[in-house]
Structure 1
Amino acid sequence: MKKILCIVQARMGSTRLPGKVLKEINGHPMIYYTLTSLKKSRYIDEVVLATSNKKIDTPLAEYVKTLGFEVFRGSEANVLERYKLAADKYGGDVIVRVTGDCPLINPIITDNVITKYLMYEDEYDYVRLDVPNTFTRGFDTEVFSKEALDKVYEIACSNKNINKKEFEPFREHVTYYIYNHQNEFKVGVVEGESKYCKDKEINMSVDTIEDFILAESKLK
């Protein structure tokens, strides 16, 4: 049996809304809702938080540990490396990527993406939710093989490319290389119905205080 590992990336140093993942909604930090929702998935074997090794992220790491989740700490800037090393440590064969600023993440929708990947594993290296076209932002889920993650890491973090500025976006955004080099990977998409995306401008992930207020209203 292959292990399905969900790695949730989060940090305290958000530029637009600093400390947002520990900002409380109904008595719980926002990251609580993301992690506990993903815990309800029928297919995810383990949920791990991946944050930076900077001092500012220590309160986040310590809080998440009190919830019973494992925490991996690595490079702040090289998020790709953080994912690669977390996947190595926790033995993920199939990686689910979610960001910590999605307190309204829906485990049923997440499982739908995992299901498509598992059903057609020989056909896909990577499957994503169709955000924002047919799903509202905030339900964002990506599923990919450990082999695909390793391949991107070996390219973007190789001795040849590690100091090249044009490869920085691929290290900062874990799946950006796959998305921009679809000729090198087998890519799938899970599309939703209109009810899941009535307005493309609505953002259920939290980047600003306005987003936070919206998420807060939905969680009451």
Structure 2
Amino acid sequence: MEFTQKVKQMDINAETVRPYFESFFTKLTAEQWERLKSCKPDEATTFMLAELLLNLMTSVSNAIVKRRPRSPVSEDKVRSILGETLNNSLSPGSRTTSESLDKLTDLVVEEVTETVNSTLSASSIRVSSEKPIPTRLINPAKVQQMICYACESLKTDGRINQLVKQSWAISSEEQEPSDDPILVSRTSSSSYSSRVSSKSGSSSEGGSTASSVD
């Protein structure tokens, strides 16, 4: 089987990528979602969106490296592997895409290509399928561009609203009910604040934005 098809069929598709988006949506409050659609996300949402994109790019890069390509990959090859994965993850069954999503895909393809080739260069003698991709610094300006295009994509596609609501519904069903609504509210607020505080602390300690394996 051709290398590109092997990676695409076994590792990278809407079913493997969509959980990243669903996890992101379940962490959003209604207020954060409205701010995000207005392209004015708060600091916590911006951090989570950057984390989503970095984890997504790392996953795609890992999938390609694990298939041990014999030579450096081109952006065209990475694009053919990624295909319509981002669009199908956000809008299942849709054959249309937006200019913002196309631009986001271009940046993801560019970054994945650079990451894969950097890894292959560092492991030119042998690329182990069990070896994680080394930490690689990403230009913060590029990440900010990705965030802007992602916000525009989320804003313009009505089908994404359905995916957000579905994610919230699933998250709500998984939570155990409580007879005390005040307790539920306090617990939810405390949990969210702790999560954001923890992530913000990790971000400050890490310094520059980097792509790494979970």
How high is the TM-score relative to the length of structure 2? 0.29
Q: Where is the helix percentage greater, Structure 1 or Structure 2?
A: 2
- Which has more radius of gyration? 2
Name which structure has the greater RCO, CA cutoff 8 Å, separation 6+: 2
Q: Where is the strand percentage greater, Structure 1 or Structure 2?
A: 1
